[in-house]
Amino acid sequence: MRDSSAHAADRGGVRMTRYIAAAAVLLATAALAGPDEVALPDGYQERFVNYLDVDRLDRNRVRKMYVSPEAHAAAQAGAPLPDGTVLIMEDHDAQIGADGAPMFGADGRLIALEPVVNIFVMETNAAWSTANETWDYAWYLPDGSPRPDASFDGCFSCHASRAERDYTFTYWTFLRDRAE
């Protein structure tokens, strides 16, 4: 009796060890899978919802923010974003006048030049485990290729400062303002 229970305990121990090893491999894979897994969605400029444009006067840049339409339809103000939400921030240089100062449109906003300068993508996926829960990040060049020298530490740390808003800067407030 004592033998068999000791044996059972051993087997339990082995199972637990195996389980932990498997979990560690899964976690490592999830963490490594990160940026490579965050794809640039095809045709996002047509398919996604351009929910906001941000004028960055400090950088003479206009940032166009997009959200995946399925997530936009399901997202609720004040709640974690739906699994699979993709947010895109597309940078454009602003038009500069002959005097070197930025020009403004009739609406008082910066004027975005057509070319895209940078494409930042963040995506939440329930299967991922990252420093920012299930969010991961990617940075694409205008031709759609991943930026080769990109570092993602900054994405994680800076967006972590908005953990209570599901790691987003503008979309959370957009949803909140829309609900009011």
The answer to whether residue 81 forms part of the interface with ligand HEC (CB under 6 A) is no
Pair type for strands 118-124 and 135-140: antiparallel
State the binding string over 8-37 for ligand HEC (x if CB under 6 A, else -). Answer: ------------------------------
Backbone angles phi, psi at 142, to 5 degrees: -55, -25
Q: Residue 57 or 98: which CB sits closer to ligand HEC?
A: 57
Q: What contacts 163, CB < 8 A, 6 or more positions away?
A: 132
| CB of residue 47 to ligand HEC, shortest distance in Å | 16
The total number of residues shown for the chain amounts to: 180
Q: Out of 56, 109, 176, 178, which residue is the one contacting ligand HEC (CB under 6 A)?
A: 56
What is the spatial distance between Cα 180 and Cα 166, in angstroms, rounded to a whole number? 19
State the burial class of residue 113 (Cβ atoms within 10 Å of its Cβ: 0-12, 13-18, 19+). Answer: middle
The answer to whether residue 110 forms part of the interface with ligand HEC (CB under 6 A) is no
Binding stretches for ligand HEC (CB under 6 A) = 54, 56, 63, 65, 87-89, 120-122, 137, 139, 150, 152, 154-155, 158-159, 168-171
